[in-house]
Chain A
Amino acid sequence: MKYLRNFGQEFKKNKALFSMLAPAFILTVVLSYIPMVGLILAFKNFNYGKGIFGSKFNGIENFRFLFASGKGWQITKNTILYNLLNLVTSQAIAILLSIFITEIRAKYYKKVTQSLIFLPYFISWVLVGIFVFAIFNYETGLLNNLRKAAGAEPYNIYAVPGIWPFLICAFNAWKWSGYNSVIYIAAITGVDQEIYEAAAIDGANIFQRIRHIMLPCIRPTVITMLLLQVGRILRGDFEMFYQIVGNNGQLFDVTDVIDTYVFRSLMTNANIGMTTAAALYQSVVCFVVIILVNAIVKRIDADYALF
């Protein structure tokens, strides 16, 4: 009660400030908190006419359905594997690039290459989908164009599911390495330039400078990036998967992540209860993982914790 009264007094005193918070507050309630209430559908048999609250409870039936078919495990496995693969490759490439780019001394070479590497961040995934079409489609793609020119048989890449994890990983790295290297370059150049100069004067060669100055500089950034990604361990980048894979059903077994599966179920009106169960499962696991990992990091070194 006392807390409420304090809040009321504060509200009266700072009406203007509260009113400035109101738009964001309302947006967040409407767009984030109210849909959370909808998660109770995970325990209901959804009927569109009866709505969220009118539909009947059916216990954990939706979860059983999701996992009994084996689909739940498969998309969980895919999501985690893709996240780990993408995390390692995109960060490794970005770190390598950022070290190389900071060391490049030719001014224009540096500027032009850096701008080009950053460019994919600015385009939509739809355009990436167009690129995939232009390179890999069977009839007119560049790949088969080159193969034909070299006298080889055209290759139907859509019939080879095993290649797609690597393609998806490559496109993910392609799109994000510029963005991530901006972060790492900032971390490397964020330190006092005198340290580099002193090291150079003391006779440290380039490898020693990388090992003893640059890598320690980017360590906190690497940890932050890892933490952020770990908190999304069950979330797939829907736009990426959807645009790269498209509607090629024969690839779904290896490319389906929770998000694409949920979306397709939603569009085909299959089973709203089950898709909500998948969403709840996804959110809860991510939440628990990030809280746990953050707590562990906090115990080891509080500076690196996210919150």
Chain B
Amino acid sequence: MAANTTGVEGATKIKNSPSSTIFYVIAYTIVGAMAIICLVPFLIMISGSFTAEKYITFHGFNIYPVEFSTEAYNLIFKTPSTIIKAYGVSIYVTILGTFLGLMVTAATAYVLGRKDFKYRNQFSFFFYFTTLFNGGMVCTYIFFVRYLHLNDSLWAVILPGMFSVFNMLIMRTFVVGIPTALIESAKIDGAGEYKIFFSIILPLLKPGLATIGLFLALAYWNNWYNAMLYINNPDKFPLQYMLYNLLQKSEAMARIAAQAGLVVTDVPSNSLKMAMAVVATGPILIVYPFVQKYFVAGITIGSVKG
């Protein structure tokens, strides 16, 4: 992010007037306050996961753990099969979906970015039109379940997220940045279209692939909606949907209690919800500092293209 916001260095040489001092006080305060507002829910979640259930029942959640306890994590890791299965599903969906999505996006963006491809405008419109008009949730649902029989299949979770026009347009910006002369000279050297794509274009597209790959991976990791529509088998629940069930449905809590050999009322349900949330979100929070700049770059390119 830092590279993006070099600030107004020249302005620092000018002496601040009283009115601009007030401006800076307000600016620093509001930005700081907003940052705290964005942080607090995470603090509640983390502290809740480390607080004794007894304390939460009597006093409620807090932003720091008053009565420290790891009982919720002990329970999760004593019978980790639920969380391991959900992790497995999420990792599988994220890796497979991101890989396939990247291939489809890169190939499409490459062809539509080629100025010598005669029908690029028609195909661009064909894809773009779906962002203006669509059949909606009900028609897609009926088609998936009744005609494609994708019920309880992880493809119902993977397919809808693979190709998005937004990602393709960002990727096309990266493609257009590659000099046409490279493709021309490869052709003269006798390389076929596939060879050009795989050995020349893809290596040059690395920054674009990193950016779009992260967008795809984040979307797959956070997806619960398609799982809610199409997946009924608890063994195939991805993490986020498992988390949702834990929050909303008592059966999910009962299942965890049964696995741990506890009566439902003995499960530390409040702290357990927070601990599960921490376990599900942990990977994102850990990689966040390292990947943030790719998202900033992608969003910036996407906004320029409209």
Main DSSP-derived SS at the B contact region:
helix
Asked, given contacts A117-B35, A117-B38, A134-B48, whether A23 binds B303 with beta carbons under 8 Å apart, the answer is no
Contact of A134 among B41, B137, B147 (CB under 8 A): B41
B31 touches A113 (CB 8 A): yes
Complex alpha-carbon distance, A222 and B114, angstroms = 31
B142 touches A272 (CB 8 A): yes
Cβ-based interface call for B186 (8 A): no
Cβ-based interface call for A253 (8 A): no
User: Beta-carbon contacts of A138-150 to B below 8 Å, as 1s and 0s?
Assistant: 0111101100100
B1 touches A129 (CB 8 A): no
Cβ-based interface call for A68 (8 A): no
**Which of A69-77, A83-91, A102-110, A161-169 interfaces with chain B?**
A102-110
User: Beta-carbon contacts of B264-288 to A below 8 Å, as 1s and 0s?
Assistant: 0000001001100100110010001
Complex alpha-carbon distance, A113 and B273, angstroms = 28
What chain B residues lie within 8 Å of A105 (beta carbons)? Answer: 7, 12
B248 touches A246 (CB 8 A): yes
Contacts of A90-142 to chain B: CB distance below 8 A: 93, 96-97, 99-107, 109-127, 129-131, 133-135, 139-142
Cβ-based interface call for A251 (8 A): no
How far, in Å, is A248 (CB) from chain B's closest CB? 11
Name 18 extra pairs, CB < 8 A, besides A102-B8, A122-B295, A286-B133: A10-B119, A38-B138, A103-B8, A105-B7, A111-B1, A116-B36, A116-B39, A117-B38, A124-B221, A131-B44, A134-B48, A142-B60, A142-B63, A182-B1, A183-B299, A186-B303, A203-B14, A243-B244
Residues of A bordering B, CB below 8 Å: 7, 10, 14, 16-18, 20-21, 23-25, 27-28, 30-39, 41, 48, 51-52, 93, 96-97, 99-107, 109-127, 129-131, 133-135, 139-142, 144-145, 148, 174, 177-179, 182-183, 185-187, 189, 193, 196-197, 200-201, 203, 205-207, 209, 221, 224, 227-228, 231, 238-239, 243, 246-247, 259, 262-263, 266, 272, 275-276, 279-280, 282-284, 286-287, 290-291, 306-307
Residues of B bordering A, CB below 8 Å: 1-2, 4-14, 17, 19-20, 23-24, 26-28, 30-32, 34-39, 41-42, 44-45, 48, 56-57, 59-63, 103-105, 107-108, 110-112, 114, 117-119, 123, 126-128, 130, 132-143, 146-148, 159-160, 162-163, 168, 192-194, 197, 218, 221-225, 240-241, 243-244, 247-248, 270, 273-274, 277, 280-281, 284, 288-289, 292, 295-296, 299-300, 303-304, 306
